[in-house]
Structure formats: C-alpha cells, structure tokens
Amino acid sequence: MQKTKKSVAKRFKLSAKGKLIRRTPGFRHLLGSKSTKQKRRATKDKLVAEGHAGPLKACLPFGL
C-alpha cells in the first residue's frame, strides 16, 4: 500500500495544474529585523523548483 509522507503533506500542496506550492521559510519569529518588503513578499506562496518537485510528488501519491 502506498502511504502519504505526512511531513511532506504538511509543508506542500498541489496546485490545480499539478505543481507543488510552498511557503517562504523563516517568517515565524524575529520579524522586527526583517524589512517590510521582505515580509510582504513572504506572504505569497511560491512554486517548488522542477528539479526538487519530482521526489516530493512521489511522497504524495493521492494528490492532497
């Protein structure tokens, strides 16, 4: 039986076209030292690079 890697499922999600979406790391604490521009851009989700996406998609056999 194929199982979902829960650590991957918590950090990534699949878009409608099957691309992986991730959050920007490093924005849970010490935000006073980061610029407003940095914080604003961190709120937008980003795509995972194609080279890294393949093995991660294999960890999500049922799509999530």
Q: Read off the pLDDT of residues 18-42 as tens digits, 9 standing for 90 and up.
A: 999 999 999 999 999 999 999 999 9
Q: Per-residue pLDDT for 17 more than 80?
A: yes
Residue 64 lies in a domain: no
Residue 17 lies in a domain: yes
Classify 19 in phi/psi space as left (phi over 0), alpha (psi -120 to 50) or beta: beta
Q: Which domain holds residue 44?
A: 6-26+34-58
User: Does this model's pTM top 0.75?
Assistant: yes
The number of angstroms, rounded, from the C-alpha of 15 to the middle of its chain's C-alpha atoms is 11
Residue 12's CB is within 10 A of a number of other CB atoms, namely 19
Residue 22 lies in a domain: yes
Give the count of domains, the chain: 1
- The DSSP letter of residue 17 is T
